């Protein structure tokens, strides 16, 4: 236990112990435990799920299975899952309805970004996103003060005294690093402490290969379209990417566009299957991106996030005509520009065409 005290605060100690004690107390009662990430899982959700699986098996001998909806689309995420051999699998029809015990990581049942069955209460929720008013579980561990859900699970692993395998340490390190942009975005002292604790345990060669993967032609085509069609308007950069082969590209382009020297906000939309995906980014630590996007998309469960990053969905329809898609895209952009005090008559400049 002393090892954990070295890396945590009183608050994290309580959280970690609650999780460990809950797993030990439940034991047989939650076997087998299905661990569900959000759809199209990112490194933070994959690492968190794997860490919870390792913890449950190690402290309570609970057999687990990690599931996700959608696809692992981004190259870095695919390489991470493949190279580290993360035991995560796409959901099969009816699998979650039949699972007797379910834990959610890096998401919550009311959010629209997971496949958890409606009108059902999970056993466990671990997340770092703001708590939804309708979120319920037997044990809920939500901490908005940290930058990544992986931090919560890594703290619990350190508290448990379990050995953290090199591949898992690498996954957690990359999960925290990618979620906080290497501790530069919304990371706190606890994220930094855990990052430092995991660093000597991780595989640096694997981490490098994950961070700098070989990319497909489609990636460069999407990126080129994102740059070519981007507009600038009073410190804001935005673009409609159109149809995509993976929804991850929306957030990826939003992050990239925010690096433009003259902007403080980026907003990007992309069409994937029946939904319009929206990503909002800001360089302002107290920008309130999550609350803002949620309001722009009409409240409810359509959007959310943190101070500097946010994402959301608008249901348009897989067979909707082109006009409906364009209307949905422009409605989001106009609403955001209006929220920033930009009039509809303000010109949008397209400097990269």
pLDDT (tens digit per residue) in 104-113: 999 999 998 9
Asked if 226 and 239 count as a contact pair (C-beta separation under 8 A), the reply is: yes
Q: Please tell me what DSSP assigns to residue 349.
A: B
* Structural domain that includes position 42: 2-211
Q: What is residue 126's predicted lDDT score, i.e. its pLDDT?
A: 98
Tell me: do 270 and 199 sit in the same domain.
no
- Provide the number of structural domains found in the chain: 2
Q: Which of 22, 17, 67 is nearest to 45 (CA)?
A: 67
Of 63-72, 244-253, 303-312, the poorest mean pLDDT is in 303-312
Model confidence at 9: pLDDT above 90: no
pLDDT at 2 over 60: no
Is residue 279 very low, low, confident or very high in pLDDT (cuts 50, 70, 90)? very high
- Given this model, what pLDDT does residue 302 score? 79
Whole-structure pTM value: 0.89
- The 8-class DSSP code of residue 184 comes to T
Claim to verify: residue 120 and residue 257 sit in the same structural domain: no
Asked whether residue 132 falls in the same domain as residue 262, the answer is no
Residue 317 located in a structural domain: yes
d(CA 310, CA 281): 7
Average pLDDT over residues 143-165: 96
Q: What would the mean pLDDT of 173-196 be, rounded to a whole number? A: 94
Whether 105 and 149 share a structural domain: yes
225 and 175 belong to one structural domain: no
What's the pLDDT score for residue 183?
93
Q: Are residues 242 and 173 in the same domain?
A: no
Residues 181 and 229 in one domain: no
Pairing verdict, β 64-68 and 33-36: parallel
Write down which residue in 181, 211, 241 finishes a domain. 211
* Residue 311 is assigned to a structural domain of this protein: yes
Distance of alpha carbon 6 from alpha carbon 196, whole angstroms? 12
Mean pLDDT of the chain: 93
105 Cβ neighbours under 8 A, 6+ residues apart:
35, 36, 37, 45, 48, 49, 52, 125, 126, 127, 149, 153
- 10 and 125 fall within a common domain: yes
pLDDT number for residue 11: 54
């Amino acid at each position: 236990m002393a090892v954990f005290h070295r890396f945590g605060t009183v608050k994290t100690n309580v959280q970690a112990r609650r999780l460990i004690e809950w797993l030990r107390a439940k034991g047989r009662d939650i076997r087998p435990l299905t661990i569900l990430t959000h759809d199209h899982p990112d490194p933070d959700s994959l690492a968190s799920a794997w860490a919870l699986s390792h913890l449950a098996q190690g402290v309570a001998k609970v057999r687990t299975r990690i599931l996700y909806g959608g696809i692992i689309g981004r190259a870095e995420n695919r390489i991470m899952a493949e190279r580290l051999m993360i035991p995560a699998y796409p959901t099969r029809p009816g699998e979650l309805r039949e699972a007797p015990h379910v834990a959610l990581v890096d998401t919550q049942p009311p959010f629209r970004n997971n496949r958890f069955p409606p009108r059902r209460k999970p056993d466990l929720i671990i997340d770092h996103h703001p708590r939804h008013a309708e979120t319920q579980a037997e044990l809920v561990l939500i901490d908005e003060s940290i930058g990544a859900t992986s931090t919560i699970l890594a703290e619990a692993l350190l508290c448990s005294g379990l050995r953290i395998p090199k591949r898992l340490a690498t996954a957690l390190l990359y999960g925290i690093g990618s979620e906080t942009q290497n501790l530069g975005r919304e990371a706190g002292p606890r994220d930094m402490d855990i990052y430092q604790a995991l660093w000597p345990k991780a595989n640096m060669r694997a981490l490098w290969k994950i961070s700098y993967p070989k990319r497909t032609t489609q990636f460069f085509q999407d990126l080129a379209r994102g740059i070519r069609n981007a507009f600038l308007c009073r410190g804001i950069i935005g673009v409609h990417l159109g149809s995509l082969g993976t929804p991850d590209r929306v957030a990826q382009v939003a992050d990239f566009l925010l690096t433009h020297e003259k902007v403080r906000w980026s907003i990007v939309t992309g069409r994937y299957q029946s939904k319009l995906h929206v990503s909002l980014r800001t360089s302002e630590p107290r920008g309130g991106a999550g609350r803002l996007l949620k309001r722009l998309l009409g409240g409810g469960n359509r959007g959310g996030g943190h101070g500097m990053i946010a994402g959301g969905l608008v249901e348009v329809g897989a067979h909707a005509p082109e006009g409906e898609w364009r209307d949905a895209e422009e409605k989001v952009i106009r609403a955001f520009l209006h929220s920033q005090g930009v009039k509809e008559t303000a010109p949008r400049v397209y400097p990269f065409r």
